[in-house]
């Protein structure tokens, strides 16, 4: 091979390396979704979101009004508006629903019968609310690590999810702070539902 051919080959390799390094461009931006997170006080909303954000559990303080967290995932960023679950706060929940693209409802699967009944009523109200009824729902049966925890099947039956949520996009998953991978998987399933809704909107 002549010196000219060798030089041309090296120049072409340099060009390919330059394109790979300098012309690749930034990675595509992850889609962002605005979600609302609701549930009674003590259901574990704040702790679960803090866990997903890798925040220290010592710094977790129960939400009294509302707070917003950006929860990063590999394929999306969830901007979660968490609403306090106290009696005097729940009546104002609907004021914060506007603009939501999905709903996270956290319930304490080991709570008293009275609290479970209240949680059921609040979930039914959310599922039928005009601003939420068409959105994907992730329902988390939290505190599965507690002895008194109800199973997912028990929660589904008690909350009458099959008849009430028929035709809606919803996921019911067990969770606890001890199982981060299962928690992340639940949110990944929610992201899939959000992406499906995006694709449907584009086709319309």
Instruction: Tell whether residue 189 is among the known ligand binding residues.
Output: no
Classify residue 88 as exposed, middle or buried by CB count within 10 Å of its CB (0-12, 13-18, 19+).
exposed
Per the CB < 8 A criterion, the answer to whether 136 and 102 are in contact is yes
Instruction: Tell whether residue 54 is among the known ligand binding residues.
Output: no
Instruction: Tell whether residue 46 is among the known ligand binding residues.
Output: yes
Instruction: Tell whether residue 109 is among the known ligand binding residues.
Output: no
Instruction: Tell whether residue 198 is among the known ligand binding residues.
Output: no
Instruction: Tell whether residue 75 is among the known ligand binding residues.
Output: no
**Strand ranges (E), the chain:** 32-38, 66-73, 76-83, 102-108, 137-142, 170-174
Helix (H) and strand (E) counts in the chain: 7, 6
Report the C-alpha gap between 160 and 139 in whole angstroms.
13
Instruction: Tell whether residue 63 is among the known ligand binding residues.
Output: yes
Instruction: Tell whether residue 7 is among the known ligand binding residues.
Output: no
Could you list the residues known to form a binding site for Mg(2+), using ranges: 46, 63
Could you list the residues known to form a binding site, using ranges: 39-46, 63, 85, 142-145
Could you list the residues known to form a binding site for GTP, using ranges: 39-46, 85, 142-145
């Amino acid at each position: 091979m002549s010196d000219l051919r060798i030089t041309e080959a090296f120049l072409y390799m340099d060009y390919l390396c330059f394109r790979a390094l300098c012309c690749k461009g930034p990675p595509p931006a992850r889609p962002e979704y605005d979600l609302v997170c609701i549930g009674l006080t003590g259901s574990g909303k704040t702790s679960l979101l803090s866990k997903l954000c890798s925040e220290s559990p010592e710094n977790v303080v129960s939400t009294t009004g509302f707070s917003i967290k950006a929860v990063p995932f590999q394929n999306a960023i969830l901007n979660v508006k968490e609403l306090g679950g106290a009696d005097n706060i729940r009546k104002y929940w609907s004021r914060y629903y506007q603009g939501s693209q999905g709903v996270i409802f956290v319930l304490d699967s080991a709570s008293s019968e009275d609290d479970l009944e209240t949680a059921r009523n609040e979930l039914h109200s959310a599922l039928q609310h005009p601003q939420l009824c068409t959105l994907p729902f992730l329902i988390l049966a939290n505190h599965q690590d507690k002895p008194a925890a109800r199973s997912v099947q028990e929660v589904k039956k008690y909350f009458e999810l099959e008849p009430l949520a028929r035709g809606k996009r919803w996921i019911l998953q067990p969770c606890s702070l001890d199982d981060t991978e299962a928690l992340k998987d639940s949110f990944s399933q929610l992201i899939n539902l959000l992406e499906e809704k995006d694709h449907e909107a584009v086709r319309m």
